[in-house]
Amino acid sequence: MALTSLPFALFAIITGVVYFVYPKKEHRWVILLIASCFFYLYNSFRYAVFILVTILSVYFASVKMDDISAETRKTVKEKKSEWTREEKKAFKEASGRKRRRIMALALILNFGILFLLKYFNFFSGSIASILGASPESAPQIRLLLPLGISFYTFIATGYLIDVYRETVTPERNIFRFALFVSFFPQIIQGPISQYNKLHDQLIEPHSFEWTNFKQGIMNITWGLFKKLVTADCAWKAIKAYYANGGINGSEGFSGYGGTMVLFITLLYALQLYTDFSGGIDISRGICRVIGIDLEVNFRQPYFSRSISEYWRRWHISLGAWMKNYVFYPIAMSELSNRVSKAIAASSFGKTAAGKHLSKVFMTAVASFIVFLFVGIWHGANSKYIAFGVWNGLIIMLSAMLGPVYAGSRNALHINEDAAWWKLFQMLRTFIIVLVGYVFDIADNFTNAMQMMFLTVTDQNPGVFLEQLPTLGMRKVEYLAIMCSSMLLLYISIRLEQTKIDTPAELLEKRCGLIQWICLFGLIMIILLIGAYGPAYDPAEFVYMQF
């Protein structure tokens, strides 16, 4: 039941209607729970046991940790007059260790499941290759990935860590907690919601509100437009590129040149963004209709002026998760502190470069590790690891060489607020992002390097035009991609200028008639040139596979 399918539309409509007509407002969250359970079982019945294990393990671990905390506070209060400060500290530390053990066990269990299902085959094959055996001879787990495993594992473990840190009060009602983990609009491809931002919204009763309904429908339509008109049309060309063997070619085809590689990479950038953000728009739209604000996951990422900014605008919820639960624990750790101090204390640390490095080295290393994880999160493949390493390296070097850049800018008298400079930064960042995408498109690391080499050394528009028909696209499809890209660009610029999150809110400022005309026009465009129906091979949402 894909987000763009008719059955899903019916399912979402029925859920919405039942939610609003259910008379006991305080129990409306139960409708969402039932809908989420149905959705999960319908789509991934055989693997539902894995999400159940996650829900149960994280629920009981968080409750247990909270019980220990409460018990500790109570005991300390009771023994306030009897115990010395050291005794209290020792008792608290012992409780902390217990809580840490519980959290560690739950994390190991959940990340263990994720590792086994998603990464075991890759690592097992890689180790076999290193040992000189064939990857096929290595032990394999022959299971499909449960629906949304990367998303719900991160949602649940983020909550667990928050409970451990005592930044949130754990949910004692297991059904409410189950709803938070399995909430159907976010289970397919995120966002990775934080407990303190979503949970209360799920539980509190919402009444039908016209503005929410209108904006929700507009969000859904905009998401469908991005997915069906732009992403899936672009996907057709990318698929043909793969089918024809890419740069290596296939039987009867000699392979694509550098200009085509560049074109496909640009199409991929468009497709990935519209596919992922389109799906998120649909999810956010559904939530909006029932009065729930799901987190924003994209803020015009291709307008970023640095790669760090790009990752603050792209898949924002994953970035936030990594920052909270990977970056800070590393950057703020005792080890980081010691390394920084050691650099500062060394003779090198007395130099200007050394002083700078002592401040930024460990945060740069933490960033690198974060992006290594981001790469691995995307999939069990060397190309995704290379993608993570590439992004991590750029961010690490940017942090470490910050003063060098600043010095160069000053020496060249570059005005940082100048429009041309901002545009240059955007273009530069976009090129760095494209290099990362080449790792995604390529079959493996070697293939990615060959593609990049071709892009630089083999620019031949004549050959490109000759090869263009092999992508099997009709003129109307190129036109659809071009026009939808222009519309996307216009909307993105307006959103950037107004600091508004969605086109629906942008449209809200216009008169009612214009709103209706825009909605009608958008729906007609989707109906007429959208890639749906049996004539099209429906492309799954790219981020569903993660």
Partner 1 sequence: MPENSDKKKLTIRRVIATVTMVLALAGSLVFMELFLCIPDSQALDQNRVLMLHKEPANTIDVLLIGSSATYSGFSSAYAYEKFGFTSWPYAIGGGTCTMWKPALQDTLRTQRPKLVVVDVFGGGYERDMIATRSSQLYLIMNSMPLSADKVRLAKEINRNVDNVSVASMVFPFIKCHSRVPINMLRLKERLEVERFGPSPLKGVETRTRTRNLAPVDAVSFTEESTPLDEETERVVREFMEYCKSEDLSVLFVKYPTVLTQQDPDELLVNLKANRICEIAEEYGYPSLNMQKSFHEIGLKEREDYYNHGHTNVRGQKKVTEFLGSYIQNTMHVGPTELDDSVRAEWDESIDYYNALAELTEELIRQGKSESIGESPALASDLKRIIDGEDVKTIADKYN
CB atoms within 10 A of CB 223: 24
Integer Cα distance of 311 and 308 in angstroms: 5
Nearest by Cα to 137 from 145, 126, 150: 126
Q: Which of 254, 520, 521, 545 binds partner 1 (CB under 8 A)?
A: 520
Should residue 528 be labelled a site residue for partner 1 when binding is judged by CB under 8 A? Answer: yes
Positive or negative CA dihedral for 464, 470, 474, 480? negative
Candidates 426-434, 486-494, 495-503, 515-523 — which segment interacts with partner 1 by CB under 8 A?
Answer: 515-523
Q: Residue 342 interacts with partner 1 (CB under 8 A)?
A: no
3-state secondary structure of 253: strand
Smaller CB separation from partner 1, 130 or 535: 535
Q: Which residues of 348-370 are buried (b: 16+ CB within 10 A; e: fewer)?
A: ebeeeebebbbebbbbbbbbbbb
For partner 1, give the closer residue by CB, 232 or 281. 232
Q: Which DSSP string corresponds to 368-427?
A: HHHHHHHHHHH-SSHHHHHHHHHHHHHHHHHHHTHHHHHHHHHHTT--TT-HHHHHHHHH
Torsion of CA 462, 466, 469, 474, to 10 degrees: 40
Residues 536 and 256: beta-carbon distance below 8 Å: no
Residue window 409-448: x/- pattern of binding to partner 1, with contact defined by CB under 8 A: ----------------------------------------
Q: For the segment 1-60, give every residue that binds partner 1 (CB under 8 A).
A: 6
Q: Degrees (nearest 5) of the Cα angle 458, 460, 466?
A: 125
Can you tell me whether residue 250 is helix, strand or coil? strand
CB of 260 to partner 1, least distance (A): 25
Query: Where would I find the H helices in 290-381?
Result: 307-313, 316-322, 328-331, 334-345, 352-378
Instruction: Determine, following the binding rule CB under 8 A, whether residue 534 of this chain makes contact with partner 1.
Output: yes
Q: Indicate which single residue of 108, 174, 353, 527 sits in contact with partner 1 (rule: CB under 8 A).
A: 527
Residue closer to partner 1, measured from CB, 100 or 510? 510
* 335 is a contact residue toward partner 1 (CB under 8 A): no
With CB under 8 A as the contact rule, the residue among 1, 432, 523, 544 that binds partner 1 is: 523
Asked whether the bond before 205 is cis by omega within 30 degrees of 0, the reply is no
Among 81, 85, 210, 457, binds partner 1 (CB under 8 A): 210
Angle, helix 258-289 to helix 232-243, in steps of 10 degrees:
140
The nearer residue to partner 1, 210 or 420, going by C-beta atoms, is 210
Q: Which helix (H) or strand (E) holds 175?
A: helix 174-182
Choose the binding region for partner 1 from 281-289, 342-350, 423-431, 511-519 (rule: CB under 8 A).
511-519
Residue type present at position 456: V
Site residues for partner 1, 58-87, by CB under 8 A, read none
By CB under 8 A, tell whether 393 contacts partner 1.
no
Contacting partner 1 (CB under 8 A), which of 141, 516, 521, 545? 516
Residue 41 or 528: which CB sits closer to partner 1? 528
Burial code (b: 16+ CB inside 10 Å, e: under 16) for 163-176 equals: bbeeebebbeeeeb
Question: 132-171 mask for partner 1 (x: CB under 8 A)?
Answer: ----------------------------------------
In terms of CB distance, is 207 or 351 closer to partner 1?
207
Asked if residue 512 binds partner 1 (CB under 8 A), the reply is yes
Q: Which stretch binds partner 1 (CB under 8 A): 58-66, 243-251, 365-373, 520-528?
A: 520-528
Choosing from 20, 38, 208, 532, the residue that interacts with partner 1 (CB under 8 A) is 532
- Applying CB under 8 A, among 519, 538, 540, 544 the residue interacting with partner 1 is 519
Query: Taking CB under 8 A as the criterion, which residues in 461-490 touch partner 1?
Result: 476
Beta carbons within 8 Å of 155's beta carbon, 6+ residues apart: 180, 181, 186, 192, 193
Residue 220 CB, nearest distance to partner 1 (Å)? Answer: 14
Shortest distance, CB of residue 520 to partner 1, whole angstroms? 6
Which of residues 335, 352, 411, 535 is near partner 1 by CB under 8 A? 535
CB 23, min distance to partner 1, A: 20
Could you tell me how many residues of this chain bind partner 1 (CB under 8 A)?
17
* Member of 529, 539, 541, 543 binding partner 1 (CB under 8 A): 529
Q: Provide φ and ψ at 403, rounded to 5°.
A: -60, -35
The binding site for partner 1 (CB under 8 A) comprises 6, 210, 476, 512, 516, 519-520, 523-524, 527-530, 532-535
